[in-house]
Structure 1
Amino acid sequence: MTEPLHVVCPHCNTTNRVQAGDLAKSPDCGSCHGQLFTGTPVNLDAAGFERQLARSQLPLLVDFWAPWCGPCRQMAPAYEQAAAQLEPRVRVAKLNTDEAQGIGARLNIRSIPTLALFIGGQEVARQAGAMGAADIVRWTQSQLARARASA
């Protein structure tokens, strides 16, 4: 039997232990009983981002965006479609850089939308500019494969 994975609840930020084989079985949070995966991007604030980064053992794909950004709004439906395809193997999230300016500055986010992929709390890939759903999924899967090959 494999070790359980730590998965941070997108609703209450509680860390849950979930067997890898149970990820696709719609697991619930042990604390708030919300679904751990909804097939839609999780809207993170600064604290939620830090918690996902530090405690979750799933790869974390983040769309750094702002509400005034036209390309960000244009990409939002495609990002939703990509989330439905990538979860539960990847935590798909959005971070509003206007509300979390410190994180945007710390990570040197210079243009939006920017996608960043984190594994084990470390950024492993970044892509600036709007993309379609198929391109988001393809880019994420290729970066995951590349990261696994170099591990």
Structure 2
Amino acid sequence: RDRFIGRIQALARAHDQLLETDWQSADLAILVKTTLLAYYRDDEIDRVADGPPMPLTPRQGLGLALILHELATNASKYGALSTDDGTLRVTWDEMQVDGRPHVRLSWRESDGPPVTDGAPKGFGTKLIKRVCAYELEGSAELDLAPEGLTAEIVFPISKGE
């Protein structure tokens, strides 16, 4: 129930951002930082999240809001955000794939509880991979290494719906 409500809240935050632009675009930097405000103070966000403003289509913004919420929820329950010693670093930039601009977003957790399972499983993993494939038209690589989760998400920069 709590996870479902959290997903609805993540979509609501993305909708708020889209309403501010008359449903034209969302910004990747704002989506990441808004998600992390649930776990960090405003003055700490720039230490954790780093990347340029990057416009997204409404579809991409909504999809990415779900993915970020899922990653943050899992980190707060099982990973780096579940302990005072854990660290999280979220970065994004633009890269070229086959001559087309793409976003590369990296989510890296470390210093959290030791990870004993080598591969992420469950509904959250399926949600991340499916939203990435169908809503972002991209890919998601998840690696649950002993030192913490790493997620690499790559998707094309769209100029319209």
TM over 0.5: no
Could you say which structure has the greater relative contact order, defined with CA pairs below 8 angstroms and 6 or more residues apart? 1
TM-score with structure 2 length normalisation?
A: 0.28
User: TM-score, normalization: structure 1?
Assistant: 0.29
